[in-house]
């Protein structure tokens, strides 16, 4: 009998998991959406047992972190935990939506735009103990991240800050890049309150990266599409993201990914912005 407990990664962007979501407000059974700074919210994860044996007493841990590329345990904050008993694969009860009963007090930092991590720990889990500092969801089926927010760009708005962190033992060389375009899982769109929107091509969306904060200009350069950073061990550096866009069509969204690459050019993390028409983000 095998036990294989999974929280799905996003595809192709693994840090955009469709199986981790937020319900803003005081009712955990309310409509999913985007967290609101200064108010509490509840976090859920969809957990599946793909093994032939029952997985009892699975502990699901929930974390939040400031918007980041690679998310480390050392810069993440635990929200709480929940437990689930999962039947063998293909049987009723092999998949469950698991609620973290501890409310998440959404901070005013970054306007409530944060990263969320869920991990399902059980006997025989592939996650070693003690676990590595980097959550590294692509290496562990039990771990998934949701680094995603909805954005309606406005000229004059502040740039969005992402954090690039180095672990306590080694300096880091990181390269951050921008990708415009792509498609989100329909489940993810539903969790954002954007069900029915289709992906746009993104011709009217411009994105720039800079090491310093600023405001998005109405015209002129925004910054580069690629930014290299040297981060001393145990410290963080900021990347500021400027997004300027003509309004997408009312039924469209444009996906923007800001991706952190490691020394071998492999993506080690990222953050997604869902660009929508002005006012659409208030309809959710």
Q: In this structure, what token pair is assigned to residue 11?
A: 């595809």
Going by pLDDT thresholds of 50, 70 and 90, the confidence category of residue 282 is: low
Give me the pLDDT at residue 269, please.
95
Q: In this structure, what token pair is assigned to residue 220?
A: 């002129």
Residue with tokens 């925004």: 222
Is 48 inside any structural domain?
A: yes
Query: Looking at residues 249-268, what average pLDDT do you find?
Result: 93
Is 155 inside any structural domain?
A: no
Going by pLDDT thresholds of 50, 70 and 90, the confidence category of residue 205 is: very high
Give me the pLDDT at residue 113, please.
66
Mean pLDDT, the chain, as a whole number?
Answer: 92
57 touches 83 (CB < 8 A)? yes
CATH number of the domain where residue 258 is located = 2.60.40
Cis peptide, bond prior to residue 130, ω within 30 of zero: yes
Whether 211 and 127 share a structural domain: no
Cα separation, 175 vs 197, in Å, equals: 32
Domain span at 113: 5-147
Give me the pLDDT at residue 110, please.
57
**What pLDDT digit, counting tens, does each position of 36-61 carry?**
888 899 999 999 999 999 999 999 99
Does residue 283 carry a pLDDT above 90?
Answer: no
Give me the pLDDT at residue 124, please.
86
Whether 88 and 180 share a structural domain: no
Cα separation, 30 vs 52, in Å, equals: 33
**What pLDDT digit, counting tens, does each position of 142-184 carry?**
999 999 999 888 888 899 999 999 999 999 999 999 999 999 9
Whether 176 and 138 share a structural domain: no
Whether 136 and 170 share a structural domain: no
Q: In this structure, what token pair is assigned to residue 264?
A: 């071998």
> Domain total for the chain?
2
Does residue 284 carry a pLDDT above 60?
Answer: no
pTM summary value: 0.92
Query: Looking at residues 78-98, what average pLDDT do you find?
Result: 97
């Amino acid at each position: 009998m095998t036990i294989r407990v999974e929280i799905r990664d996003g595809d192709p962007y693994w840090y955009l998991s469709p199986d981790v979501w937020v319900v803003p407000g005081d009712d955990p059974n309310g409509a999913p959406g985007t967290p609101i700074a200064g108010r509490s919210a509840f976090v859920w994860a969809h957990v599946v047992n793909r093994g032939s044996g029952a997985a009892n007493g699975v502990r699901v841990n929930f974390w939040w972190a400031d918007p980041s590329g690679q998310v480390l345990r050392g810069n993440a904050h635990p929200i709480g935990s929940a437990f689930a008993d999962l039947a063998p694969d293909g049987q009723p009860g092999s998949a469950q939506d698991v609620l973290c009963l501890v409310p998440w007090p959404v901070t005013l930092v970054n306007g409530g735009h944060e990263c969320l991590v869920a991990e399902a720990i059980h006997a025989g889990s592939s996650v070693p103990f003690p676990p590595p500092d980097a959550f590294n969801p692509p290496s562990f089926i039990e771990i998934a991240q949701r680094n995603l927010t909805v954005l309606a760009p406005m000229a004059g708005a502040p740039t969005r800050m992402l954090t690039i962190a180095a672990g306590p033992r080694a300096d880091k060389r990181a390269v951050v890049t921008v990708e415009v375009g792509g498609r989100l899982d329909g489940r993810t769109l539903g969790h954002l309150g954007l069900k029915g929107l289709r992906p746009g091509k993104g011709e009217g969306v411009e994105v720039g990266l800079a090491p310093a904060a600023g405001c998005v200009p109405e015209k002129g350069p925004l910054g580069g599409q690629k930014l290299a950073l040297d981060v001393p061990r145990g410290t963080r550096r900021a990347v500021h993201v400027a997004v300027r866009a003509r309004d997408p069509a009312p039924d469209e969204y444009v996906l923007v990914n800001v991706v952190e690459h490691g020394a071998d050019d492999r993506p080690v993390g990222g953050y997604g912005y869902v660009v929508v028409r002005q006012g659409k983000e208030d309809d959710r």
